[in-house]
């Protein structure tokens, strides 16, 4: 979503850093381009104006101009001010006695029902017991849609058909949650094409009857500045505690995400990044700012990687590596992990300079290759696996025969193993390679923890 903007900003900054010392005119010229890029990304013009003013005030300050790296200082200021514009890191408020009521509101098709299921999924992962409530009695298929999702993720759905008024259904659901020890109640309310009084009254009534801790507006990022206007209006009428910006995976220009907090004062809490029930990201302003400025969203990438990788095993391998005991069995385990990582290689690319590294580290191990590798390693004796240097020509022939492979294949595997061993050793002695390497190693081997 931010690709275009990101590309433009990066070229502005690389132009700056080619200059060495900066004059006030240099800064102004750069900021003019930044301003244009933001406007083209559909950021609210008032937000842009304010942003540029704040950056300029700091950037033409004597300290920056006299520093040895004025361009970097300017980028740093832009980064900090972008974070300030995006807002604070805001979490769901699940304090106080349960059940906690979370009310989802928004226009038709913005993603309320889908995000009720996404939230239920992530909250349950966090140890909650969610109950979803079909409070959209208006659209004929709405109840069934939520029930289907509920079955998919195995979360119960409270519904009373389409004859009972939604505020009543919601009140009943909260009562049921209290009696049956559900800890979170997610209210999936009806949407309209446009904001109208009838909808607002209904929502106000639901709110009065259920006293939600959170009223989250689900808003479609693809609608750009309209999303900002809608958020402002919902906030005035119903009162919001947070926003879920959806369809961020689409080709929206990013303006809504950058402006909405600033214009409405309501924090973004989540980003919807796909149709599936796990396509939900917690919103971190600092990470998004880094991503927009091309600094790489390291933390998100690492979190994803940690989700995929087997922690305990990684830890074990990390310790072995440190002691120089990494052997062929670990190699096999590690390749299996790397295969799982395949799906996140795109994410690792978010880290500057990481793509070259992962190109070396994460060979595209296919299912078939994995089978061959396993067969070869399984045909070795424990001694050979632990100390492959003892594998001479006759042992290679035996291993090839035992695994139904050829000596060439056995040789290939041993070469690969040595390469990986060398690479990992280099990374353990991080030093000159800097934090990126240590970070990746920590991720792979648990050494940073
Ligand atoms: N790509 C993408 N699609 C999404 C996302 N969230 C929801 N959708 C899709 O958007 C469409 C509408 O989503 P719903 O959850 O039904 O929206 P709603 O707000 O409940 O709509 P109404 O009940 O009609 O008011 C569905 O096709 C979803 O799959 C997202 O984050 N990314
Ligand atoms: Mg719906």
Q: Over the stretch 151-194, which tens digit does the pLDDT of each residue have?
A: 999 999 999 998 999 999 999 999 999 999 999 999 999 988 87
Look at 66 and 438; give whichever has higher pLDDT.
Answer: 66
Torsion of CA 264, 270, 276, 277, to 10 degrees: -120
At 259-275, the pLDDT tens digits run 989 999 999 999 999 99
Task: Indicate the top mutation candidate among 275, 277, 279 to test ligand 1's pocket, ranked by most ligand atoms within 8 A of CB.
Answer: 275
Measured at the CA of 208, the angle between CA 202 and CA 211, to 5 degrees, comes to 125
Residue 217, both tokens: 């507006």
pLDDT at 437: 38
What is the rounded CA–CA span in Å between residue 316 and residue 109?
47
pLDDT for 130:
96
Helix or strand (DSSP H, E) at 282:
strand 280-282
Confidence (pLDDT) at 317: 66
Instruction: Please write the tens of the pLDDT for every residue from 262-315.
Output: 999 999 999 999 999 989 999 999 888 887 887 655 455 555 555 655 566 666
At 238, list the tokens. 């119903």
* DSSP tag of 160: B
| pLDDT over 70 percentage in the chain | 79
SS3 130: strand
334/23: higher pLDDT: 23
Q: Which of 15-19, 115-119, 313-317, 432-436 has the lowest mean pLDDT?
A: 432-436
CA-to-CA distance for 269 and 243, rounded, in angstroms?
6
Radius of gyration of the chain (CA): 27
Q: Check residue 358 and give its pLDDT.
A: 47
Confidence of residue 435 (pLDDT cuts 50, 70, 90): very low
Mean pLDDT over 111-118 rounds to 96
**pLDDT per residue over 390-423, tens digit each?**
999 999 999 999 999 999 999 999 988 887 777 6
Say what the pLDDT of residue 159 is: 94
Answer whether 139 contacts ligand 1 (Cβ < 6 A). Answer: yes
Task: Tell me what the pLDDT averaged over the chain comes to.
Answer: 82
C-alpha distances in Å from residue 40, one per residue of 6, 84, 248: 12, 20, 17
Has residue 220 got a pLDDT over 60? yes
Residues 365-376 have pLDDT tens digits of 566 777 888 899
pLDDT score, position 86: 92
Residue 235 Cα to ligand 2 midpoint, Å, equals 20
Q: Does ligand 1 have an atom closer than 6 angstroms to the CB of 106?
A: yes
Calculate how far, in angstroms, residue 278's C-alpha sits from the geometric centre of ligand 1. 13
Ligand 1 geometric centre to CA of 113 (Å) = 7
Helices H, strands E: what count in the chain? 22, 8
104 CB less than 6 Å from ligand 1? no
Q: Is the pLDDT of residue 149 over 80?
A: yes
Question: Residue 24: enclosing H or E segment and its boundaries?
Answer: helix 24-40
CA–CA dist 199, 284 (Å, integer): 31
Compute the distance from residue 109 Cα to the ligand 1 centre, in Å: 5
- For ligand 1, atom 1, the nearest C-alpha belongs to 274
Q: Is the pLDDT of residue 439 over 80?
A: no
3-state secondary structure of 328: helix
Under the banding of pLDDT at 50, 70 and 90, the label for residue 67 is low
Return d(Cα 302, Cα 13) in angstroms, integer.
26
Atom of ligand 1 nearest to the CA of 218: 19
CB atoms within 10 A of CB 127: 7
Residue 108 CA to ligand 1 center (angstroms) comes to: 9
Of 213 and 140, the structure prediction assigns the larger pLDDT to 213
| Alpha carbon distance 432, 441 (integer Å) | 14
Report whether residue 332 contacts ligand 1, using a CB cutoff of 6 Å: no
Cα–Cα distance between 293 and 29 in angstroms, integer? 18
Cβ–ligand 1 contact at 142 (below 6 Å):
yes
Residue 318: the pLDDT is: 67
Alpha-helical segments (H) within 87-190: 112-125, 142-153, 166-179
Predicted local distance difference test score (pLDDT) of residue 295: 66
**What's the confidence (pLDDT) of residue 366?**
64
- To the question of pTM greater than 0.85 for the whole model, the response is no
Looking at ligand 1, which residue's alpha carbon is closest to its atom 14? 111
């Amino acid at each position: 979503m931010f690709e275009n903007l990101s590309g433009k900003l990066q070229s502005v900054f690389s132009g700056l850093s080619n200059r060495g010392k900066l004059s006030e005119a240099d800064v102004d010229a750069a900021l003019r381009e930044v301003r244009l890029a933001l406007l083209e990304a559909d950021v609210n013009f008032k937000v842009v104006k304010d942003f540029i003013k704040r950056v300029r005030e700091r950037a033409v300050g004597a300290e920056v101009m006299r520093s040895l790296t004025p361009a970097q200082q300017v980028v740093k200021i832009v980064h900090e001010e972008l974070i300030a514009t995006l807002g604070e890191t805001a979490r769901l408020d699940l304090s106080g006695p349960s059940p906690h009521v979370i009310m989802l509101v928004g226009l038709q098709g913005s993603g309320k029902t889908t995000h009720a299921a996404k939230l239920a999924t992530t909250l349950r992962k966090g140890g909650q017991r969610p109950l979803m409530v079909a409070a959209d009695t208006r659209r004929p298929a709405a109840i069934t849609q939520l029930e289907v999702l509920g079955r998919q993720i195995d979360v119960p759905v409270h519904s009373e058909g389409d004859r009972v008024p939604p505020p009543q259904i919601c009140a009943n659901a909260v009562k049921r949650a209290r009696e049956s020890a559900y800890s979170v109640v997610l209210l999936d309310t009806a949407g309209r094409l446009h904001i109208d009084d009838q909808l607002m009254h209904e929502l106000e009534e639901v709110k009065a009857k259920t006293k939600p801790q959170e009223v989250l507006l689900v808003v479609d990022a693809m609608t750009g500045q309209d999303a900002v206007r809608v958020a402002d209006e919902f906030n005035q009428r119903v009162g919001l505690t947070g926003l879920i910006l959806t369809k961020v995976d689409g080709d929206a220009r990013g303006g809504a995400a950058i402006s909405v907090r600033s214009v409405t004062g309501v924090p973004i809490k989540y980003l919807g990044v796909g149709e599936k029930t796990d396509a939900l990201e917690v919103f971190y302003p600092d990470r998004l700012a880094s991503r927009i400025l091309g600094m790489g969203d390291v933390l998100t990438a690492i979190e994803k990687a940690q989700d995929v990788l087997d922690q305990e095993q990684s830890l074990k391998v990390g310790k072995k590596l440190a002691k120089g005991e990494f052997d062929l069995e670990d190699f096999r385990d590690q390749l299996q992990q790397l295969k799982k990582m395949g799906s996140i290689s795109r994410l690792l690319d978010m880290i500057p300079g990481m793509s070259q590294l992962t190109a070396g580290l994460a060979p595209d191990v296919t299912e078939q290759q994995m089978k061959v590798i396993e067969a070869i390693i399984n045909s070795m004796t424990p001694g050979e696996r632990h100390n492959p240097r003892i594998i001479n020509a006759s042992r290679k022939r035996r291993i090839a025969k035992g695994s139904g492979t050829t000596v060439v294949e056995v040789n290939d595997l041993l070469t690969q193993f040595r390469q990986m061993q060398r690479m990992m050793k280099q990374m353990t002695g991080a030093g000159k390679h800097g934090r990126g390497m240590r970070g990746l190693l920590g991720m792979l081997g648990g050494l940073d923890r």
